Amino acid sequence: MIKLIENDLYVDTYLKIREQVGWKKLTREQAQKALDNSLFTVVAIEDDKVLGMGRIVGDGAVICYVQDLVILPDCQGRGVGRMIMNRLKEFVSEIQLEGTEMMFDLMCAKGREVFYEKMGFIARPTDTLGPGMIQYLKK
């Protein structure tokens, strides 16, 4: 049975998951700071094996971002991503201030758009929203 563990994502697990899916390498210090500054984390496990994880960042009032929804390749297609995403969205709804609207955003990896559309996200640009943009700062 798949279990979701909340706010108990360790840096070693985070770095290992990122490595297993071929994501950009982070320093240990960088990864720890990212986890420390997360609003919420979820890890999916089954029989003590990590299947994937998700993380929310943001201000918790106006905007929250799904930052890192990662499912190990051999665990994809089993509903793990949907489980994690549903819990992330539920968390954001729980912290949302009464009577307000909050933006719930993400930037998805190429080829993953259909999954997120099924989860209720809309692709940009639209008639009223411009494209998402990014800039990498190197030090």
Is the model's pLDDT at 136 over the cut of 90?
no
User: Per-residue pLDDT tens for 76-127?
Assistant: 999 999 999 999 999 999 999 999 999 999 998 888 899 999 999 999 999 9
Amino acid at 138: K
Peptide bond into 73 cis (omega under 30): no
The Cα 65–Cα 126 span in angstroms is: 19
> Contact, 26 vs 33, CB < 8 A?
no
Amino acid type, 10: Y
pLDDT for the residue numbered 56: 98
> ∠ CA(28), CA(20), CA(15), 5° rounding?
15
pLDDT tens digits for 29-81? Answer: 999 999 999 999 999 999 999 999 999 999 999 999 999 999 999 999 999 99
* Partners of 43 in the β-ladder: 5, 53
Report which residue type is found at 47.
D
Evaluate whether 9 touches 41 at the Cβ level (below 8 Å). Answer: yes
Please name each of the domains of the chain with its CATH number: 3-118 (3.40.630.30)
pLDDT interval class at 137 (50, 70, 90):
confident
**Phi, psi angles (nearest 5°) of residue 49:** -100, 130
